[in-house]
Amino acid sequence: MNEVEQVENERLEVQLLLEAIYLRYGYDFRKYASAHTKRRLEHRRALEGLPNLAAMQHLLIYDETFFNRVLLDLSINVTEMFRDPWFYKSVRELVVPYLKTYPFAKVWHAGCSAGQEVYSMGIVLQEEGMKERVQMYATDFNELILAKAKDGIYPMNLVREYTANYQQAGGKSSFSDYYTADYDNVVMKRFLKEQVLFSSHNLVTDGVFGEMNTIFCRNVLIYFNRDLQNRVLNLFYESLCPGGFLCLGSKENIKFSDVAHKFEVVAEREKIYRKKRM
Amino acid sequence: MDKIIQKYEAIVIGASAGGLIALHRIFSQRCLDFNLPVLIAQHICPNRESLLPELLRQHCTGTVKDAEDKDVITSGNVYIAPSNYHLLVEPDKSIALSVEGRVNFSRPSIDVLFETASEAYCDALVGIILSGANSDGAYGVSQIKKRAGLTIVQSPDSAEFDTMPKAAIEASNPDFILSLDEIGILLNTLCNRG
């Protein structure tokens, strides 16, 4: 067998695995970016000492705890508080004034992971005197990570980095006002959680979540193929009220989607878009 | 040598400490019709904008940019892994990014770029390892070699930091071990064959 055939056969194995996951558990990874998906599955295969991906198929079908490990492998949960501080600075300057024009507004964090960015936005809203007037929704397809988001407990050793980010993002107070320290961890203060509704939602299979004024979905779309990105961007378009904001990751964009012309670019580097009033 | 006659479709370059100077040196020798797309994973400080695009732009006729998700890899362009993202190549030769955990303590990781690119391009890929003080890229270059791509490593005695070239040489027995000037000449030769 030559190398080209080998690569093609491995792609076939990946395809069959994802099909099995979908048929057995209902989670649909078939339209995820394929290089990434293959790497994550290979990572699990190597950890388990399995000879090839085909051997993983049996385990995946019969052993639900094994599937849950693979589910975690496939959902990437690397993020931080005030990730890309300059982005949060722009949110404060460009998005918050718009939210202020409403008596009551809704903000959706789609694919919220362990909640770091949800609390970041919560802090911004608190400092802008908007906390009582904004309902935040935080959703993820992974129940385990969603529970972590709800707890809002983060390792102490990350706090130095979070604090620096907070300051660079134009924080008006002291970052330590927002958490209580507990040995090796910090716990986000209760008042930041009061305005957030944590809920399970799968961008791949579920529908419109509600009419939102702003949607955050940062570094989630990079794991999807172009087809699925298009579906999800349409979902966001449908979920936004006219004039509402869409905030993506700094290396993502909407130019390959068929809603591209329905948004205007508000901040190019920050990837902040605004739904046009048609 | 057969490998020089082969027609290539893309070049991947991995660099770490000392890589900025090395990349500059190679790119300063590019001839005008140098048309293969180049993808670069260079280790830099997270949260810092890379100086690389600015530095390389003066030597390129095509676009030099931080790679963005789903960019279609196009001849003559140079794509640089953004700080704090892994750069991957999809089977359809478009770009995918990822913020999954560090690989070899690095994000971007050279291994991640080289491995996914070698799966997309197989024997039509050129992989180059430059100066660096770790061993990221050694596995990646061995994958390119396995799939019959062309592998080039900067000669350790010419590298500012020789750990990375040495690790790559040990892991892969590369096709060429060359100085920066020789790498530049070889790349121009490969391109003129297009």
**Sheet architecture: strand order including A212-217:** A196-200, A134-140, A105-110, A212-217, A240-248, A272-275, A263-267
Mean pLDDT computed over A11-23: 96
Q: What is the pLDDT of residue B48?
A: 64
- A275 in Cβ contact with A244 (< 8 Å): yes
Structure tokens belonging to residue B19: 């890589």
Q: A107 forms bridges with which residues in the sheet?
A: A136, A214
Exposed/middle/buried for B131, CB within 10 Å: 0-12, 13-18, 19+? buried
Averaged pLDDT for residues A159-176: 96
Residue A92 has pLDDT above 60, yes or no: yes
Look at B90 and A7 and tell me if their CB atoms are within 8 Å: no
Report the pLDDT value the prediction gives residue A56, as an integer from 0 to 100: 94
Tell me if A35 and B119 make a contact (CB, 8 A cut-off). yes
Nearest Cα neighbor of A168 from A83, A98, A95 is A83
Whether the predicted pLDDT of A218 surpasses 70? yes
pLDDT at A193: 96
CA distance A260 to A263: 6
How many angstroms away from the CA of B62 is the closest CA of chain A?
20
Closest CA to B39 of B10, B8, B17, B69: B10
Give the chain B residue nearest A84 (alpha carbons).
B47
Nearest to B164, CA basis, from B193, B131, B194: B131
Q: How far is CA B51 from the centre of its chain?
A: 16
For residue range A222-257, what is the model confidence (pLDDT) as tens digits?
A: 999 999 999 999 999 999 999 999 999 999 989 989
> For position B193, what pLDDT does the model report?
59
Instruction: With CB atoms and an 8 Å threshold, state whether B99 touches A226.
Output: no
Q: Does this model's pTM top 0.90? A: yes
B112 CB neighbours in chain A (<8 A) are 39
The whole-number pLDDT of residue B49 equals 67
Residue B57: Cβ within 10 Å count: 14
Interface membership of B68 toward A (CB under 8 Å): yes
Residue B15: its H or E element: strand B10-15
CB B179 within 8 A of CB B187: no
In sequence order, which residues have a C-beta less than 8 Å from that of residue A190 and are 6 or more positions away? none
**Secondary structure of residue B117 in the 3-state scheme:** helix
Q: Which chain A residues touch B119 with a CB distance below 8 Å?
A: 7, 10, 35, 38
**The pLDDT of residue B169:** 98
Tell me how far apart the alpha carbons of residues A45 and A13 are, in angstroms, rounded to a whole number.
12
C-alpha span between A148 and A114 (Å, rounded): 5
Contact B66, B42 (CB under 8 A): no
Cβ atoms of B127 and B12 closer than 8 Å? yes
Which of A273, A266, A209 has the alpha carbon at shortest distance from A235? A209
**Is residue A173 scored above 50 in pLDDT?**
yes
Q: Is residue B133 within 8 Å of B164, Cβ to Cβ?
A: yes
Helices (H), B100-137: 110-121
Residue B1 confidence (pLDDT): 59
Query: Given this model, what pLDDT does residue B55 score?
Result: 87
In this prediction, residues A53-78 reach a mean pLDDT of 92
* CA neighbours closer than 13 Å in the CB half-sphere of residue A265: 11
How far is the C-alpha of B43 from the C-alpha of A228, rounded, in Å? 31
pLDDT in tens, B159-180: 999 999 999 999 999 999 999 9
Least confidently predicted of A38-42, A85-89, A91-95, A207-211: A207-211
ipTM reported for the complex, 2 dp: 0.91
Burial label for A47, CB within 10 Å (0-12, 13-18, 19+), is exposed
Which active-site residues of B does the annotation give? 16, 43, 136
Is the pLDDT score of B194 beyond 50? no
**Alpha carbon separation from A116 to A81, A236, B66 (Å, rounded):** 5, 21, 26
* Distance separating alpha carbons of residues A140 and A158, to the nearest angstrom: 22
**Residues B73-84, mean pLDDT to the nearest whole number:** 94
Cis ω before B108 (30° cut-off from 0) = yes
